[in-house]
Amino acid sequence: MIERKDLLARFAAYSPHVDPLPLELAWDFAEKAHSHQARASGDRYITHCAAVADSLVEWRMDLPSVCAGLLHDTIEDTPTTEAQLRAEFGEEIAMLVMGVTKIDALKFESRDDAQAENWRKMLLATAKDIRVIVVKLADRLHNMKTLNFLAPEKQQRIAAETMALYSPLAHRLGMFKLKSELEDLSFAYLHPAEHADIKAKVGARLTESEKKLAQARTEIERVLADSEIPCRILSRTKTLWSIYKKMERQKKPFEEIQDGLGVRLITDTVANCYALLGIVHTHFKPVAGTFTDYISTPKLNLYRSLHTTIVGSAGDVVEIQIRTEEMHRSSEYGIAAHWRYKTGEQAKDVHLEEKMNWLRQWMEWLQDLNSPREFLDSLKTDLEFHQVFVFTPAGEVKVLPEGATPLDFAYAVHTQVGEACVGAVVNNKMVKLDHPLKSGDICRIVTRKGSAPKKDWLNLARTARARSKIRHWLRERGLVE
């Protein structure tokens, strides 16, 4: 367990001008509030609160977030009231704690209803302040790390929820390190035999992989030595879950999965990223079709980096990512990396609000879904990060989840286009409205004046936006509840 003085020291290391007193008070308050409670492991409850706060410190979150991490279970699991918390720590910290506090499950007829309403509540709070979900993700991470102390039925349920909702949400927020950790932790409980098998095989292959990786790094260091460009080289390994998914996708056993060695080049400026790319491509043979520029065209979840694949002198394939220190931190911690601290006051990345608009808009669409099961299904669909890029005839691209249909595309273009839709032409061929779209498709929506949405469209559309718009139109005319 991290000690109080260590947590304070780690926070002070990146926030030297922030008064740590609220953090000390929050620790004392949480320790006292949970003094009669223990974790399933037998540890004092404060160990969980401290672990959550420690993750938030690792992600360099601000003072209110770290305080909320220490206090996140006080209202849910102790006699502490919201009014008490507000009086002790102020409106901001109390709001964050309330955002991650679950609603009493006894109010609902089923676990699904309770789960859906808890997610709806948390996401509404997150739409107002992104720190709510960051605190919740830190909470879930420690719960997954200590899942072995729970009964098998609970392990399965919590791991399944983590894989279906928390990990994709971490991905959507650009928190790749956390996403991978949650996936591997869930994998161990959802597919224990496969997890153990792949873990053992990766371990057996480790010596050979490390030898090849060391050789690749030495070769890259040698060609960069004369450039005088500041650069540090990191190696990266594939996660167990990603290996398992690749085996499934390619329908191959572990022994036939040939993954390139992974290397990251971290430098100081964008200009030097491109300079390093030029040097690498000059001295090594690039693999055709592998270069992607996520610096000039970032991913929707803030990710920026240059990707390329080269062939080393021994014939080994080496996957290379080139980025600045800031991009690297953003790729590891995502949205959490976009909080900055200036003389004790929180100042957000100037583009943060714009980047989070998807969440607010998404919540507006989800508000129209009355059924808890439909809410959760729509949530899982829209968190799915396997996306397709579909073009309008004018060349405008629409990003949709994998499996999206022309109806989803029509509503992505404009609500009026969706409502007047009578058919779709994909790549010059007429298709049904439930036709799954693929990346690169050119889709033209056929409309007819006076046409209107049909009730069965709710079974054809996959995105929350399309389903929300269809339901809204039908409800206004009394065709659905």
| Residues tagged active-site | 76-77
Instruction: Give the whole-angstrom CA distance, residue 459 versus residue 340.
Output: 44
Provide the CB-side half-sphere exposure for 387 (13 A, CA). 16
Map tokens 């308050």 to a residue: 29
If DSSP codes are grouped into helix, strand and coil, which group holds residue 475?
helix
Neighbours of 424 (CB within 10 A): 22
If DSSP codes are grouped into helix, strand and coil, which group holds residue 38?
strand
Instruction: Give the whole-angstrom CA distance, residue 464 versus residue 368.
Output: 9
What spatial distance separates the first Cα and last Cα of the chain, rounded to whole Å?
Answer: 51
Instruction: Give the whole-angstrom CA distance, residue 350 versus residue 330.
Output: 15
Instruction: Give the whole-angstrom CA distance, residue 433 versus residue 425.
Output: 10
If DSSP codes are grouped into helix, strand and coil, which group holds residue 363?
helix
Instruction: Give the whole-angstrom CA distance, residue 300 versus residue 313.
Output: 36
If DSSP codes are grouped into helix, strand and coil, which group holds residue 387?
strand
CB of 50 within 8 A of CB of 2?
A: yes
Neighbours of 234 (CB within 10 A): 12
